Each structure stands twice: as structure tokens, then as C-alpha cells.
Amino acid sequence: MAKVLINGYGSIGKRVADAVSKQKDMEVIGVTKTKPDFEARMAVDKGYKLYAAIPERKSLFEEKGVDIEGTIFDVIEDADIVVDCAPGGIGKDNLENIYKKYKVKAILQGGEKAQYVEDNFNALWSYDRCYGKDYIRTVSCNTTGLCRTLYAINSATDIVKARVVLIRRGADPNDAKRGPINAIVPNPPTIPSHHGPDVCSVVPELDGKIITSAVIVPTTLMHMHSLMVETTGTTKDDIIDAIEKTPRVFMVSAEEGLNSTATIIEFARDLGRVRYDLNEIAIWKESINVVDNELFLMQAVHQESDVIPENVDCIRSMLQMEDDNMKSIEMTNKAMGLMK
């Protein structure tokens, strides 16, 4: 059993903890919080051992009556690996000041810079490269979504170049501090955006072939991507077949009522998904089209949850628990109840 410590029990951390706890070959030995908020109380209620991420704040938990086992330094030496789910930018400091000091393997999230780690992870593309490594980053929700779909396309034809427009949600549903409220904001206003280089950190062979642009809009549910991919030649049927064979990617039909990100989230609710998580990437079947050698499609990305199964597979890769990426993906998907 791999002993996994989750450093940061927030939007990503609580989902990673739940996913890890469902795996037959892993266990969560603890989760950390920086403050005794409702998520800290819920972690304890769910049976996770809670630790203070910042030792100086241990007394705050005691004052609020939140049961903790100690601080992160009381548990980190027992961990085989740490999944860092701290807010963006903090993971780098944790890597330098804690994980390397205690010589424990660590996974950072997509909010950190690619250059701080040994490699960047996607279960389909870079599982073998990350095998046995000590410090890896699982890429962001948008990059994860693009990597999966580009993998499907690449399995059917060669990619000459890719142009992607990302329509990004303004904030997560629980974030009342961010916007925009009544605007569409180029983010960044320069082209290319950082998403293309981030894809190349996972798929180096796409370097020089992919250019992305991005805007943020007043919604909280999901991102949407519009892909325009020039290939060496393919057909619509070949792409549909490739999507059907690719794990964690599936097609939805606007004709059947799944005509927006809102209805896709409703679909996730109807599936009985906890927190209405949709770990898979939803591609609108009607959007798939091939004109000459150029492929077009649109997809929806649930930003809170698509990276979660990648973290689980990354644990197996780094700890050398399974040398076949597709077997790891199958194990993770089955334990999490994901669609085939």
C-alpha cells in the first residue's frame, strides 16, 4: 500500500484524497490544512487524519475544537509520496523547503511552473517518462483536457499543427472573489497563451505546432475549448473511433439535450457524481468535422476534477507500482467509477 500524504485539503486536495482512498493499492495517511475552516472539519468527519500545514497555526485548530494529529512534520516521514495541493505558487516553496529536505517524492499541481520539476505528467503521454522520478507536476485542467484529446487525434493521424481557443470559466463555484461579472476578458491578451507551451511540456513533439489563445467569461461550471487541427489526413469516422477508444474522453450529443456546459454538469449530477465531478472530457459529437485535412471539434472541461485521476496514475508511475500506463488508467478509472 502506497502511503500518500495530501498537503492542502481544498478544491483539488479533497478530491485527490477521495480518489486515492478508493484505490486498492494506496492509502491516505493524512491531509493538511492551513486553517480550521469547514473543509478541515469535514476532513475529520470523513475519517482523514488532519495535520496543520503551518506548525505555528496548530493552536488555531485547538482553539476552534478541530481535532488534529499534529503538524505536517509529524507525518511527512511516514509518507511514500506527497501530493501537493496548495494554492498556485506555494508548491514550489514546499518543494524546496520541505519535500527535498525530507527526501520524499512529491507531485505538484498545474499552478506551478514546469521548470521546477523533473517532468510533467499526463497518464496517456508521459507515464513512462515520469516512472520512478522524484518530483513531477501534473499539468493544469486545460492542459490535461487538451492532452487527452490530442492523444486521441494523434492515434488516428499525424498532427501538422493545432490552433486552440480556450473559453475559460471566470472562477470556481466556491470562489466569490474573482470575476469577471459582466465582461469577456482576453486572458492573456497576447497570443500565444501559456497553454500551448504547457502542452509541449508533456508532448515535446508538438513544440512549434500548437498555438493557443484564451479568454475568461462570467461562468463557473466548466471551460470550453474549440480545436482546429491540421492533420496529414483523416476522416470524421476515424476521429470518432479514436475518441471512443481513448480513456477519459467521451462524446455528448447536443441533439439529446447536452447542448451546454450547464446540461453537461446536470448529466454529471444525474450520474450521481460526488460534487458533480466530471473527470472525463466531453466532446460534442456534432462539432466534429473534417474539411480537407483540417479537423474541428469543441469540448467541455470540468476544471475542478479532470486532473484528479491523473494524480492517482502519477503516484503509481513515480512509485513504480505499475509499469503499464493503460493498466494504471484502468485501475484508477474502475475504482473511481469513471465511464469506459
pLDDT bracket for residue 76 (50, 70, 90): very high
Report the catalytic residues. 141
CA 114 to CA 137: how far, in whole Å? 7
Select from 36, 78, 28 the least CA-distant residue to 53: 36
* Whole-structure pTM value: 0.96
pLDDT bracket for residue 86 (50, 70, 90): very high
pLDDT digits (tens, 9 = 90+) for 212-266: 999 999 999 999 999 999 999 999 999 999 999 999 999 999 999 999 999 999 9
Contact (CB, 8 A) for 304 and 275: yes
Q: Please, where are the H alpha helices in the chain? A: 13-21, 38-45, 58-63, 90-94, 141-156, 195-202, 236-245, 261-270, 308-318, 325-336
What does residue 154 show for φ and ψ, rounded to 5 degrees?
A: -65, -25
CA 340 to CA 312: how far, in whole Å? 17
CA 98 to CA 260: how far, in whole Å? 43
SS3 233: coil
* DSSP structural state of residue 102: T
The percentage of residues in the chain with a pLDDT greater than 70, rounded to a whole number, is: 100
Q: What pLDDT does residue 176 have?
A: 85
The percentage of residues in the chain with a pLDDT greater than 90, rounded to a whole number, is: 97
pLDDT of 169 above 80? yes
Contact (CB, 8 A) for 211 and 227: no
CA 309 to CA 329: how far, in whole Å? 8
CA 80 to CA 315: how far, in whole Å? 9
pLDDT digits (tens, 9 = 90+) for 38-69: 999 999 999 999 999 999 999 999 999 999 99
Q: What pLDDT does residue 90 have?
A: 95
Contact (CB, 8 A) for 83 and 99: no
**Which grid coordinates belong to 141?**
485542467
What does residue 125 show for φ and ψ, rounded to 5 degrees?
A: -100, -40
- ω into residue 197 within 30 of 0, thus cis? no
Bridge partner list, 252: 284
CA 115 to CA 96: how far, in whole Å? 13
Q: What pLDDT does residue 289 have?
A: 98
CA 174 to CA 171: how far, in whole Å? 8
- DSSP-assigned letters across all residues of 145-175: HHHHHHHHHHHHS-EEEEEEEEEEESS-TT-
